[in-house]
Structure 1
Amino acid sequence: MPSRRRRDHAVKRTERTTVTTAADGLVVEGLRKRYGGHQAVDDVSFTVAPGSCLALVGESGSGKTTTVRMLVGLERPDGGTVRLDGRDRSARARSRGERLARAREIQMVFQDPYLSLDPRVTVADCVAEVLRLHTRLTPVARTARVRELLEKVGLGAREATALPRRLSGGQRQRAALARALAVEPRILVLDEAVAALDVSIQAQILDLLATIRREAEVSYLFVTHDLTVVRHVADEVLVLKGGRAVEAGPTARVLDAPEHPYTRLLLSSVPGRGWHASPAAPERRLPG
């Protein structure tokens, strides 16, 4: 059964590209950002419908990371709007409470988990820190919630008491996911979140992401330069080149019948037509 939060959405064609519109969800319109003489993001618009996954695709320097940094509030846009369920997130937050509320709505998982995991404390404490900041759970309830979140992403008691450096790359990414999910976000931004993992571990993390999206009713913005994984995670694709959107639409259409030469160039660099995620090798566990 589809999520109750999911709304019917339509695809409309504009002069620039094909985008998705929705009654609610994340709506980005005319986003712009300039650094000195460089236009990093130039009039980018897209929608992430509730419960859906949009892949933001492009090479290094295409504007992907700058775009998502503006979405989560790490950068302020020079122009355009960012709305979530009709609420404008573009202006500067006026209070600490508003900043925390915005942080709860959109969470980010980075390619390098060390950007979000404190290397000096255990995985469990990294997750508990988020709960202390954003919830009023009692210490007992907080401990139970940490255990629940780690179990959801496939980490047990041994991993919970380990420092991040003691975990494998896949395990650290699972821990980063648990930390991001602790506040029950509406949108999860995954910035090259599987790029540093080998193919078998990528498959495990992608399977986990599919399960989380289904169970937690969270939407994904999946940022990647790697088209080999897009077909397996995204409902729609937006292709960026030089800070501008050059093509967008349903994943199957964009990947099977690309209209823009740049999209065709990206696809020509993919080593094979399909990407097969199995058999997947098990992740390394901590020694007993």
Structure 2
Amino acid sequence: MRHTETHAGPKGLVVDGLRKRYGAHTAVDGVSFTLPPGGSLAIVGESGSGKTTTVRMLVGLERADGGTVRLDGRDRSARARGRAERLARAREIQMVFQDPYLSLDPRVSVNGCLDEVLRLHTGLDAAARTARVGELLDQVGLGAREAVSLPRGLSGGQRQRVAIARALAVEPRVLVLDEAVAALDVSIQAQILDLLRGIRRRSGIGYLFVTHDLAVVRHVADEVLVLKSGTVLESGPVDRVLDAPEHPYTRLLLNSVPRRGRVPGGAGRTGHGGPGRGPDPRSVP
């Protein structure tokens, strides 16, 4: 990893009293949590619970109205001063969105997409960038054929692998995954979750996994935070919260999870990118 500098204050991501209002509506109300280095925290709740607004504030896509966000002791709450600081913050926390097709430029090949990120954020020359692109593709289980493809030529799972590779290119400390498997078929969801577990185990990166689907939480997280109407109702180790929930809302969420025929990752909603197509064998970790 490139990040070796030290800073005063607790390590990891520390969020304290985060607040956000839109007019008369309070979207996030005093959310606090800590993600230790290399940890994995799931933020769960129904649509409108405030979970996506929370993480958008962490990555700088929304401005908080109150509270603090610190990473390894450095305050990220104030507005970044200049382009260099904005890029430095972007490298620290990266985000993978729900729909990989919308987050990828349809005119740019996979190689070009990853090379663009490396040119923006690193001082690598062309040869070094080419080598790094190959490493990233290998890390997410993609090969030479996918490297020269445009997003429309890839399956949904392959596109999400590209989005993950792009986020990993800058060696972030924290990866935010906002419903990152929700738009994929059940079997592809399981593959992506396996991929993410392997990356975390090898790299020590921290995960914030945003989901409405408690069926995936036990497979991706150490800790879980339950949000409703922008407020934290319950938090703690995954096994404790899921096996012995204290709040009625958490029990309600758990009761809504199907008990039989369930593959970790939730119900699939989109296919593999074309009728009758299965996943490319090279996309399986």
Same fold (TM over 0.5): yes
- How far the C-alpha of 1:284 sits from its partner, in A, is 3.1
- 1:137 counterpart residue number: 124
CA shift digits 1:90-143 (9 cap, x unpaired): 000011000000000000000011343111110111111000000010101101
* 1:1-288 matches, cutoff 5 A: 23-272=10-259, 275-276=262-263, 283-284=279-280
- How far the C-alpha of 1:274 sits from its partner, in A, is 8.9
Deviates more, 1:248-257 or 1:267-276: 267-276
For the structure 1 residues 54 and 37, does the alpha-carbon distance in structure 2 shift closer, same or farther, using more than 3 Å as the test? same
Separation of aligned partners in 2, 1:81 and 1:23 = 14
- 1:19 counterpart residue number: none
- How far the C-alpha of 1:215 sits from its partner, in A, is 1.1
Q: Residue type of the partner of 1:95?
A: G
CA shift digits 1:233-256 (9 cap, x unpaired): 100000000000000000000000
For the structure 1 residues 100 and 106, does the alpha-carbon distance in structure 2 shift closer, same or farther, using more than 3 Å as the test? same
2:219 and 2:264 in contact (8 A); partners too: no
Separation of aligned partners in 1, 2:63 and 2:104 = 24
Separation of aligned partners in 2, 1:63 and 1:199 = 25
Q: Residue type of the partner of 1:194?
A: V
- How far the C-alpha of 1:205 sits from its partner, in A, is 0.4
Separation of aligned partners in 2, 1:153 and 1:137 = 21
2:223 and 2:237 in contact (8 A); partners too: yes
Q: Residue type of the partner of 2:38?
A: G
Separation of aligned partners in 1, 2:263 and 2:209 = 19
CA shift digits 1:160-209 (9 cap, x unpaired): 10001111010000000000000000000000000011111111100100
Q: Residue type of the partner of 2:197?
A: A
SS of structure 2 residue aligned to 1:232: helix
1:228 and 1:274 in contact (8 A); partners too: no
Q: Residue type of the partner of 2:195?
A: L
1:229 and 1:275 in contact (8 A); partners too: no
- How far the C-alpha of 1:276 sits from its partner, in A, is 4.4
CA shift digits 1:6-54 (9 cap, x unpaired): xxxxxxxxxxxxxxxx931000000000001100000000011111100
1:62 and 1:241 in contact (8 A); partners too: yes
1:190 and 1:221 in contact (8 A); partners too: yes
2:215 and 2:264 in contact (8 A); partners too: no
- How far the C-alpha of 1:285 sits from its partner, in A, is 6.0
Separation of aligned partners in 2, 1:234 and 1:183 = 23
Q: TM-score, normalised by structure 2?
A: 0.89
2:19 and 2:28 in contact (8 A); partners too: yes
Separation of aligned partners in 2, 1:276 and 1:111 = 19
1:41 and 1:63 in contact (8 A); partners too: yes
- How far the C-alpha of 1:277 sits from its partner, in A, is 5.1
Separation of aligned partners in 1, 2:209 and 2:201 = 15
Separation of aligned partners in 2, 1:226 and 1:274 = 15
Separation of aligned partners in 1, 2:219 and 2:260 = 13
Separation of aligned partners in 2, 1:165 and 1:246 = 41
Q: Residue type of the partner of 1:283?
A: P
Q: CA RMSD in A?
A: 1.9
Task: Mark the runs of 5 or more structure 1 residues left unpaired by the alignment.
Answer: 6-21
SS of structure 2 residue aligned to 1:208: helix
Task: Mark the runs of 5 or more structure 2 residues left unpaired by the alignment.
Answer: 266-271, 273-277
In the alignment of these two chains, the number of paired residues is: 264
- 1:14 counterpart residue number: none
Q: TM-score, normalised by structure 1?
A: 0.88
